[in-house]
Amino acid sequence: MKYSLLSRFRGALLGSFVGESLVCVGYQNRLWGGVSFTSPKPEEAQTNQTLSDWSQLATCGTESLIRCGKVNLEDWWLLFEKTPSSVSFKSAGTSSEAAVATLPIALFFHEDEVKLRQQLLACADVLQHKSEAPEAISVVAYAIALALTEKLDVATLIPQTLDYLGTSQIPLKRQLEQVQMLLEQGAGLDTTLTHLRRDAQKSRGEPLGRSHIAIALAFYCFLATPEDFRLSVSRAARSQYQPQITAALTGALAGVYNSIIGIPVGWRLAANRISSGIQRLQLADRLFEVWAGVYDVPPFAQGQLLTVAAPRVIQPR
């Protein structure tokens, strides 16, 4: 195993946070833009203003999974009601927004492809607009599951994803095919975005085509430089197309693939100065513990590496 499973959980949730935070004016220069990282103002450090409503929804989903040990939409809703959000839990979101909201589900059910798909489709009924294809929400989750099970090959990720979608005729399949072609040609970000927008305009369901662009762009930004977290999320933040959502998805993909070790140290330190950044790491640890079946981990064990195995595999000492 190249990286521990815990480090990949942490990389996914913190990576999504870092990617989204890069887009926010005010944090961009103070925390992420330079070589030196200075502390944010006290009033800024205590807010979640860097997070989109859909990212806050993901945070509530993580808390609910930890508390219930399963997807409980009612409990998720009760938690989200307490956040200062302008989005209703049952708002009609795009596939890209729903993909951000369901990131914790991708982590929690990554080892069971059938159950993961079932849980995502159930959430799609609640989170996505009824006109959107529910399969699109599972594309990012599928890539995350591949990374967590050590099966993600950057050279074949898109072909594998297209096979995973099967006979579905959603616009995202065509957009991913374009991304694969453009990556092979060495096309830049602006060229890729132009092609994706042009494709969405030509399709009959123009709004539906546009709703998937952020997912396709996230795949492009990650696969163009898969080993370089900094470059992947920086490119996504400059995409100028739903940059918060695109950067959040790119950060999750690059984070789970490279683990938290791949996130630049300066950015990790900067995130640790923000309450919501600290919260992401704590939630990643707790989500992993619940997934692994660890019961009542004492405070001193938080953040330490844990060994998890099937019964009687590790001999008693």
Q: Quote the distance between the C-alpha of residue 162 and its chain's center.
A: 19
Q: Say if residue 172's pLDDT is above 80.
A: yes
- Which pLDDT band holds residue 173 (cuts at 50, 70, 90)? very high
Which backbone phi and psi does 93 adopt, to 5 degrees?
-95, 170
Q: Say if residue 5's pLDDT is above 90.
A: yes
Which pLDDT value is given to residue 171?
A: 87
Mean pLDDT to the nearest integer, 204-219: 74
**Mean pLDDT score of the chain, rounded to an integer?**
83
Q: 92 lies in which domain range? A: 5-155+224-301
Residues 306 and 46: their CA atoms lie apart, in Å, by: 30
Measured CA to CA in angstroms, residue 188 lies from 154, 191, 213, 247, 271 at distances of 18, 5, 16, 16, 29
Which pLDDT value is given to residue 90?
A: 54
Q: Say if residue 300's pLDDT is above 70.
A: no
Which pLDDT value is given to residue 167?
A: 87
Neighbours of 198 (CB within 10 A): 11
- Which pLDDT band holds residue 294 (cuts at 50, 70, 90)? confident
| Residue 122 domain-assigned (yes or no) | yes
Could you give the percent of the chain with pLDDT greater than 90? 59
User: Do 171 and 208 contact (CB within 8 A), yes or no?
Assistant: yes
| Residue 175 domain-assigned (yes or no) | no
Mean pLDDT to the nearest integer, 204-221: 76
User: Do 285 and 302 contact (CB within 8 A), yes or no?
Assistant: yes
How confident is the model over 240-261, as pLDDT tens digits? 888 999 999 999 999 999 999 9
Which pLDDT value is given to residue 41?
A: 41
Angle at 15 between CA 283 and CA 7, to 5 degrees: 60
Top pLDDT among 36 and 286 is at 286
Neighbours of 290 (CB within 10 A): 19
| DSSP collapsed to 3 states, 243-302 | HHHHHHHHHHHHHHHHCHHHCCHHHHHHHCCCHHHHHHHHHHHHHHHHHHCCCCCCHHHC
Length of the chain: 317
Residue among 56, 60, 66 nearest 287 (CA): 66
| Residue 51 domain-assigned (yes or no) | yes
Mean pLDDT to the nearest integer, 291-314: 56
Which pLDDT value is given to residue 65?
A: 96
Q: Can you read off the two tokens belonging to residue 138? A: 């599972």
| Residue 317 domain-assigned (yes or no) | no
Mean pLDDT to the nearest integer, 81-102: 77
Neighbours of 99 (CB within 10 A): 32
Which pLDDT value is given to residue 307?
A: 52
User: What's the whole-model pTM score?
Assistant: 0.86
Return the amino acid letter for 64: S
User: Do 102 and 144 contact (CB within 8 A), yes or no?
Assistant: no
Measured CA to CA in angstroms, residue 170 lies from 135, 137, 163, 242 at distances of 8, 11, 13, 20
| Residue 313 domain-assigned (yes or no) | no
Which pLDDT value is given to residue 69?
A: 93
Residue among 305, 312, 75, 138 nearest 146 (CA): 138
Q: Can you read off the two tokens belonging to residue 200? A: 């969405």
| Residue 82 domain-assigned (yes or no) | yes
| Residue 170 domain-assigned (yes or no) | no
Residues 218 and 225: their CA atoms lie apart, in Å, by: 11
Q: Say if residue 36's pLDDT is above 50.
A: no
Could you give the percent of the chain with pLDDT greater than 70? 78
Mean pLDDT to the nearest integer, 277-291: 95
Structural domain count of the chain? 1
Mean pLDDT to the nearest integer, 191-204: 81
Calculate the CA dihedral of residues 115, 118, 121, 127 and round it to 10 degrees.
-60
The residue with tokens 């453009």 is 182
Output the domain CATH number for residue 46: 1.10.4080.10
| Residue 160 domain-assigned (yes or no) | no
- Long-range contacts of residues 228-233, Cβ cutoff 8 Å, at least 24 apart: 229/15, 229/254, 229/255, 229/258, 229/262, 229/263, 229/264, 230/264, 230/267, 233/15, 233/18, 233/19, 233/22
Q: Can you read off the two tokens belonging to residue 297? A: 């981990």
Q: Say if residue 204's pLDDT is above 60.
A: no
- Which pLDDT band holds residue 48 (cuts at 50, 70, 90)? very low
Mean pLDDT to the nearest integer, 126-142: 83
Which pLDDT value is given to residue 38?
A: 35
Which pLDDT value is given to residue 195?
A: 92
